[in-house]
Amino acid sequence: MEKIYLDHNATTPVDPKVVEAMLPFLSAQFGNASSVHHFGREAKVALENARESIAAFINCDPAELYFTSGGTESDNIAVLGTASYLKKKRNHLIVGAAEHHAVLEPAEHLHEKEGFGLDLLPVDSEGFSSPKRLKTLLTDNTALVSVMHGNNENGTIQDIKALADAAHEKGALFHTDAVQSVGKVKVDARALDVDLMSVTGHKIYGAKGCGALYIKSGIKISPLFYGGSHEKKRRPGTENVAGAVGLAKAFEIAEKRREEDYARISDLADYFIDSVLKNIPDTHFNGSRTNRIPQTMNVSFKGIEGESIVLSLDLKGIAVSSGSACTSGAVEPSHVLVAMGIPKIVAQGAVRFSMGRSTTKVQLDYVLAELPAIIERLRSMSPVYNS
């Protein structure tokens, strides 16, 4: 039985060309980029070349790019570091109601432990946040607004430029988590006019454990920890040179393939979503059908638990998710879907199918053939379906 992987939003396989680029820095070229001898200088050159390459892809200056361990750390540095630096001047935060927990939890910590005011920016039924609504929440005390570019659960792409403009009118900084969108759609830090932006590699066929944070020139933040001058003291610790080189290669490949992948996967997504909605009753697509990351397809099956569907599909060799991987197994429905106003009985039956470069129509047809019987069986045992 072929194993079908439809959970690319959780992570992607590492591209062989990325592995090839990384290997020298896991063996012969093992130097510490902070060392002054030949081995260190060799590593430093590779690190800075990677920084320049990634900066070119997201349209920023290399000096504005800081390597991290991934999206979660980048988000935490952005939220906690900015708040810590500005707390004596401004102590109010606004974050999107559908944000990743890597943004929500730091914001909640600042609210509960540090006395920051916190407002959640609502989303509509398709997952969009309104710049007009944001303006009603902004105050002269707002330090930071953080809204995700492309949502990890429903794929909705926000109008980040308009939201950032609203924040800047009140003197607030703006951060966006672009972890799920970068490499899949065009992401331009300058055009979006954000002050901080998080990216990572393992969503675009890079290795786990390496990401980056864009910090616009002139923006001040406090570091989260101390112990060295690495990354201009904003992220101390020996740099992951191999990871950075791999991240640059992953960006390079993604940019070359982006338009081709977008067109192909968009067609597959439309085919899959239309087929599910047509052939399985009481289903609901969660998100926008137009302004979205096409790789992400979130569908609710009324009256059953998403986890049950995930496990049933797994027995058929199909890997999917019931929400974001970081909250998999939670009893409560996804906070993203709740924020969109989706009823609990519908939200609890949500499944995220996320495609990648290896996804084919043949694979989707297999899923479409197996899925109706699984849904019918689970609904026959459900105490709430049709109740």
- Residues catalogued as catalytic: 326
Q: Give phi and psi for 383, each to the nearest 5.
A: -80, -10
195 vs 214: CA distance, rounded Å:
8
CA dihedral angle for residue 371, residue 377, residue 379, residue 382, rounded to 10 degrees: -140
Q: Give phi and psi for 296, each to the nearest 5.
A: -100, 120
Neighbours of 320 (CB within 10 A): 22
DSSP 260-311: HHHHHHHHHHHHHHHHHHHHSSSEEE-S-SSSB-TTEEEEEETTS-HHHHHH
Q: N- to C-terminal Cα distance for the chain?
A: 37
CA dihedral angle for residue 340, residue 148, residue 323, residue 205, rounded to 10 degrees: 150
Closest CA to 266 of 250, 298, 289: 289
Q: Give phi and psi for 286, each to the nearest 5.
A: -105, 110
31 vs 34: CA distance, rounded Å:
9
Asked if 300 and 125 touch (Cβ cutoff 8 Å), the reply is no
Looking at residue 35, its amino acid is: S
